[in-house]
Each structure stands twice: as C-alpha cells, then as structure tokens.
Structure 1
Amino acid sequence: MRILTVIQGKYGQRILQNLNLNGPKNWEIKSWTAPLRLPPIIENPEEFLPQKLPQTDLLLSLGESTGVAELIPDLVKMSGAKAVIAPIDDRGYLPAGLKNQIKKYLEELGVDSVFPLPFCSLIQKSSKNEYIKEFARYFGKPRLIVVSNQGRIQKITLEREAPCGSTRFLKEKLIGLRIEDAEEKAGLFHHYYPCMASRKIEERFGDSILHSSANITKLAVKWALAPHLLP
C-alpha cells in the first residue's frame, strides 16, 4: 500500500516516524511537509502546493492548521489518493464545519474518508474502504495481548498500536508491573509520552480529546489484563 503523509510540525513528524519504524515492510510511505504558516482561508491553493506529489493509495493528513485541512481536496487530486484519513486530535486543526465540507467534497470525488477523534480510536470497522481498513489493521485503537508470571506482566504483544507510538512506550513501562497496578499506571504513562491531543473540552462528549485518548489506552490495557485478574 502506498501512503502519502502530509505533515507540518512535531505532531505529524512523530506519527510519520512511528509508521516508518513499525509499519509493514511492504508499505511505501512518502511525505510532504506543508508550509508552517498558512492563511486561515486559502483562496489560491496552488500558491502553497508543491509542483508534484507522488501517486498514492491513502492520504494521511497530519497538519496542524486549518490551512492544511483546506488543501486536502487538492492534495487528493494531485496524488490520486483513493482514501483519506484526517484525524482530529485538536479541533483547532480541523473544526467540525470544515470537516463536513471536506467530507462532502471528497464524496463528490468518489474518495472515502474518515476523521477519527482521536486518531487512536480508529478501527477497521470505521470504513469499508480497503486502504483505510488495511491501515487500521496495524494502527489506531490499541489492542494488546499480555503474558503474566506470578502476578506480574512478563510480555506484551501489540496487535494494533496508537499511530503516535505511545503504545510501544507504554509497553516498555508496563513490563514487570503487578497486574492490579497496570491499568491505572497506563493512564499516567500515556500522558508521560506525552499525548499531544487537545486539552480543550469537547461539547460532543463533555471531555477533552486528551482525556478521551487516555481512557482508550486504559481500556485497552484493562481488556488485555482481564484474563489475568483473579475473580
């Protein structure tokens, strides 16, 4: 699968690095770095777009401004992308109204898209598109398998990990901990990584995206630990 990642700063760079290090070897991952400064409303996209982009199957939009989000339709046209993943880890990067506009425009182009909020909530059932499903096999909502010995975590296998790399960080921190302590510690380690999601309260669910992401991590650990807890 060919993936084109669009990055702008540290948020996207960290995700790109994790994909390159831990993604399937047969994935072909390319990137384009968008300008750091983009106007809030882009009237002439060609002023900010590169002359050429590699052809791709999946466009991964990891910008840190509304300007990058506005460029998504043009990036799709240039790259021939057949699917788009544009995570919402900060509403400042992709407000709800703009997301709806982009999704509608992509539908008119015949391009599937998902906007996971947060990115680590993505699962294969999030889309029927083959490229989005393939990506979500490996990256998205964490899924772990724990092996324990004498009440402590001995080994952790990652079936699916958070795109940012936090699950691997968490894995190393949890090894050796007592089973009964691991779930609570998981939330702390998630923040220590650190999580770069927004701290602002979302009206949609009355909590911050940051806290929602931490809860996803804790729940993944809880499910992995369940077979090892005494009734």
Structure 2
Amino acid sequence: MRILVAIQGHYGQRIADNIRQHCPAEWEAYTYSFSSDLPAIVDDANEFLPKELPAADLLISLGEHPGVAQMIPDMVKKSGAKAVIAPADNRVWLPPGLARQIKRKLESMGVEVVYPVPFCTLAEKDSQNQYIREFAKYFGRPEIDIELDRDRIKRVAVIRGAPCGCSPYVADGLAGVWERDAVEKAGLLHHQYPCLATMVMDQQFEDTLMHRAGLMTKLAVEKAIKGVKVAK
C-alpha cells in the first residue's frame, strides 16, 4: 500500500515517522510538508502544491491549519488516492463544517473519507474501504497483549498502536507495574509521551480530545488484563 502523509509541523511529523517505523515492510510512505503560514481561505491550491505528488492509495491529512484540509480534494487528484483519513485531534485544524464539505466533495469523486476524533479512535469497522481498513489493522485504537507474573505485568506486546507512537512507550513503561495500578499508570504514560490532542472541551463528546485519547489507551490495558484473567 502506498501512503501519502500531508504534514505541517511536529504533530504530523511524529505520526509520519511512527508509520514509517512500524508499518509492514511492503508499504511505501511519503510525506508532503506545508508551510505554517497558509491563508485562512485557499483560493488556488496550486499556489501551495507541486505539479505532481507521489502516487498513493491512501492520503492521510495531518495539517495544523484549516487550509491544509481545504486542499484535500486537490491532493487526492494529484496523488490518485482512493481513500482519505483526516483525523481531528484539534477541531481548529479541521472544523466539523469544513469536514462535511470535504466529505461531500470526495464522495462526488468516488473517494472514501473517515474523520477519527481523535486519530487513536480509528477502527477497521469505521470503513469498508480496503485501504482504510488495511491501515487500521496496524494503527488506530490501541490493542495490546499483556503477560502477568503473579500480580505484576511481565510483558506487554502492541498489536495495534496509536498513530502517534505512544503505544510502545506505554508498553515499556508498564513492565513491572502491579496489575491493580496498570490502567491508571497507562493513562499517565499516555500524557507523558506526550499526547498532542487538544485540551479544549469538545462539544460532541463533552470532554477534551486529550482525555478521550487517554481513555483509548486505558481501555486497551483494561481489556488486555481481563483477557489474561479469562485465559487463566
């Protein structure tokens, strides 16, 4: 699978680096970087995009400004992407109204798009598109496997990692932790990584997206520990 990741700063760069580090060997991952000084409204995307972009099956838009999101249809045309993942880790970067406009435009082009809020909530069931589902096998809502030694965590294996790369960090930090403390510790490690999702209260979830992201990691640990107990 060929992936094009549109980035604009540290937030997107960290995700792109993690994808390259942990994706299957046969995947190809490219990045295109936008400048930080985009206008509020992009009238002509050609002013900010090259004549050609790397050919891709999947476009991942990780802009830190609404202008990047406005250019998603143009990036699709130039790359030939057949699917788009545009996370909303900060609603300022991708307002809901703009997301709906882009979705309608992409649907008219025959291109599937998903908007995970935040990125680490992405799951295979969110789409029937083969490229989005393939990506979500490896990156999205965290899934881990835990091995216990009596009441302490002996080993943690990452099955599916958060796109930002925090899952291996959390896994390493849980080694030796008492089982009863593992969920709370996972939440602390997630924040320390650090999580870059916004701390602004989100109207849809009545919670911050950073807290929602931390919950995904904590639930993964809770589920893994329950799985160990059931297996016993």
Q: TM-score range by the shorter chain?
A: over 0.9
Q: Which has the larger displacement, 41-50 or 114-123?
A: 41-50
Q: What is the CA-CA distance between 1:66 and the residue it aligns to?
A: 0.2
Distance 2:21 2:5 in 1: 14
Distance 1:66 1:160 in 2: 29
Structure-1 residue corresponding to 2:71: 71
Letter paired with 2:216: I
Distance 1:82 1:151 in 2: 47
Structure-2 residue corresponding to 1:33: 33
RMSD (Å) for aligned C-alpha atoms: 1.2
Distance 1:145 1:118 in 2: 23
1:122-153 residue CA offsets vs partner (Å, 9 max, x unmatched): 00001000000000000000001101112111
In the comparison of the two structures, how many residue pairs are matched?
A: 231
Q: What is the CA-CA distance between 1:41 and the residue it aligns to?
A: 0.5
Distance 2:195 2:19 in 1: 17
Q: What is the CA-CA distance between 1:159 and the residue it aligns to?
A: 1.1
Conserved 8 A contact 2:64-2:93: yes
Q: What is the CA-CA distance between 1:51 and the residue it aligns to?
A: 2.1
1:186-228 residue CA offsets vs partner (Å, 9 max, x unmatched): 1111100000001111111110101110111111110011144
1:11-33 residue CA offsets vs partner (Å, 9 max, x unmatched): 00000110111111110111100
TM-score (ref. length: structure 2):
0.97
Q: What is the CA-CA distance between 1:229 and the residue it aligns to?
A: 5.3
Please give the secondary structure, in 2, of the residue aligned with 1:155.
strand
Structure-1 residue corresponding to 2:201: 201
Distance 1:50 1:36 in 2: 16
Structure-2 residue corresponding to 1:85: 85
Distance 2:51 2:73 in 1: 15
Distance 2:79 2:122 in 1: 23
Structure-2 residue corresponding to 1:58: 58
Matches within 5 A, 1:11-160: 11-160=11-160
Structure-2 residue corresponding to 1:213: 213
Distance 1:26 1:54 in 2: 16
Distance 2:18 2:114 in 1: 20
Conserved 8 A contact 2:57-2:83: yes
Please give the secondary structure, in 2, of the residue aligned with 1:147.
strand
Q: What is the CA-CA distance between 1:178 and the residue it aligns to?
A: 0.8
Distance 1:158 1:92 in 2: 31
Structure-2 residue corresponding to 1:192: 192
Query: Which residues of structure 1 form unaligned runs of 5+?
Result: none
Structure 1 runs of 4+ with >2 Å offset: 227-231
Please give the secondary structure, in 2, of the residue aligned with 1:176.
coil
Distance 2:222 2:165 in 1: 19
Distance 2:151 2:13 in 1: 38
Query: Which residues of structure 2 form unaligned runs of 5+?
Result: none
Q: What is the CA-CA distance between 1:155 and the residue it aligns to?
A: 1.1
